[in-house]
């Protein structure tokens, strides 16, 4: 879980770049992509066919490796599946019940904290920060209560690692880097306790895989860390193992592999992962937004537009889709549609200043191509004023 901090670093890094590429399309390493003939890594998930049994194979396995009773394992897996499927209201109802029935495990508020973070991640904003902080604090209290009594150690440490990693990501998004790294280290320690008390639980290997992969990537792009061995392939192998064998994190491992392939500009494999995720969870906004990015990079612009329209059909209040639609329409030279999409995004109150500044910058580029110099200058000035956008500052200098 703590290794998620490295993934968030990889996603944030493009926001520091000064070129005119889309905020999330640069890579940390500047990879150009594999050879066209590179084979597609076909996703393989766990077999969960109930075959007439009372519970699914993954429920039996969850109960066994975490040393919890079958009914509780089934309830936990059901809540997790509802979150993956983006049935958030149903998931919250189930998690509220779990908070009452299992008040010292932390499962209820932990799951709800994940929902609030997912909603914010979908939109690239902080709209539910207050609710997230309240449920996150409640989760930590419940987990601490549970740890005072013997039993359920594996799931308690797992949830603790999850909450530490989740808050590390949140603090990273808020540019609170040192607290984020400290929380990431705490999450790694908690995950080590999970492995100690539940050695047959495969899912924590996802954290190891992500850490190995992203540490290698980041170490090779910054003088602040020693290069060390290249563990990218070994890291991806661990993520694939969790994708294939995990009882709770298999879909998360699929998404983690998607980001690894995006980092490598291996768009065919990134698309294969998003399409696999879409087949299982067609309404998962985070996966579908990622698929839209992949399709856009592949220059399959009509498909990208359809993907973002699907996101808006699932989540009509999703604001970030309008920004991405503006990017795609710009690349299709559909100036009117692009301007409408960017201005729709800019008009929302919720986007962070940096994201809104990037939209103003994109609008300035659009006006520049149309030779609307005064409009372009005004848009670039807004990008600098709102988001301190360095690319817009350079564009203003060129317009002088």
Give residue limits of the domains in the chain.
1-29+50-217, 325-400
pLDDT at res. 93:
97
- Assigned CATH topology for domain 325-400: 1.25.40
Per-residue model confidence as pLDDT tens digits over 238-291: 999 999 999 999 999 999 999 999 999 999 999 999 999 999 999 999 999 999
Q: Is 137 exposed, middle or buried (0-12, 13-18, 19+ CB in 10 A)?
A: middle
pLDDT band at 25 (very low <50, low <70, confident <90, very high): low
In this predicted structure, the answer to whether residue 34 has a pLDDT above a threshold of 80 is no
Tokens of 184: 């990431």
pLDDT at res. 279:
95
Looking at residues 33-39, what average pLDDT do you find? 65
pLDDT at res. 13:
39
Name residue, tokens 């530490």.
164
Element (H, E) at 141: helix 129-147
Prediction pTM value: 0.88
CA distance 279 to 290: 14
In angstroms, the first-to-last Cα distance of the chain is: 48
**Is residue 150 classed as helix, strand or coil in its secondary structure?**
coil
Q: How far is CA 189 from CA 161, 185, 194, 262, in A?
A: 8, 6, 9, 28
**What does the DSSP assignment read for 176-227?**
-HHHHHHHHHHHHHHHHHHHHH-TT--TTHHHHHHHHHHHHHHHTT-TTS--
Calculate what percentage of the chain has a pLDDT beyond 70. Answer: 90
Cβ-contact 335, 366 below 8 angstroms: yes
């Amino acid at each position: 879980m703590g290794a998620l901090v490295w993934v968030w670093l990889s996603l944030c890094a493009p926001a520091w770049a000064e070129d005119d590429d889309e905020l999330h399309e640069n890579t940390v390493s500047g990879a150009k992509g594999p050879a066209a003939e590179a084979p597609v890594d076909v996703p393989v998930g766990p077999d969960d066919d109930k075959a007439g049994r009372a519970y699914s194979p993954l429920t039996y396995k969850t109960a066994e490796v975490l040393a919890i009773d079958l009914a509780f394992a089934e309830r936990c897996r059901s809540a997790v599946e509802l979150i993956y499927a983006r049935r958030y209201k149903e998931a919250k109802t189930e998690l509220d019940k779990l908070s009452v029935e299992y008040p010292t495990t932390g499962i209820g508020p932990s799951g709800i904290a994940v929902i609030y973070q997912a909603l914010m991640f979908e939109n690239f904003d902080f709209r539910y920060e207050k609710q997230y902080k309240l449920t996150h604090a409640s989760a930590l209290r419940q987990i601490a209560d549970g740890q005072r009594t013997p039993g359920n150690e594996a799931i308690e440490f797992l949830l603790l690692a999850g909450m530490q990693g989740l808050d590390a990501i949140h603090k990273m998004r808020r540019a609170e880097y040192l607290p984020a790294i400290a929380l990431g280290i705490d999450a790694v320690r908690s995950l080590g306790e999970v492995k100690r008390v539940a050695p047959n639980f495969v899912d924590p290997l996802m954290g190891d895989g992500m850490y190995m992969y992203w540490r290698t990537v980041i170490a090779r792009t910054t003088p602040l860390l020693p290069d060390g061995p290249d563990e990218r392939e070994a890291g991806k192998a661990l993520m694939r193992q969790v994708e294939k064998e995990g009882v709770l994190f298999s879909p998360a491992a699929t998404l983690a592999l998607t980001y690894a392939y995006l980092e490598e500009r291996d768009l065919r494999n990134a698309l294969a992962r998003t399409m696999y995720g879409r087949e299982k969870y067609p309404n998962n906004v985070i996966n579908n937004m990622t698929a839209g990015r992949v399709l856009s990079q592949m220059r399959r612009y009509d498909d990208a537009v359809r993907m973002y329209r699907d996101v808006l059909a699932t989540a009509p209040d999703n604001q970030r889709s309008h920004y991405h639609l503006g990017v795609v329409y710009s690349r299709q030279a559909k100036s009117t549609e692009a301007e409408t999409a960017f201005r729709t995004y800019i008009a929302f109150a919720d986007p962070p200043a940096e994201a809104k500044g990037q939209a103003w910058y994109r609008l300035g580029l659009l006006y520049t191509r149309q030779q609307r110099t005064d409009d372009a200058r005004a848009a670039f000035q807004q990008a600098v004023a709102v988001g301190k956008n360095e690319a817009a500052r350079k564009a203003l200098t060129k317009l002088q």
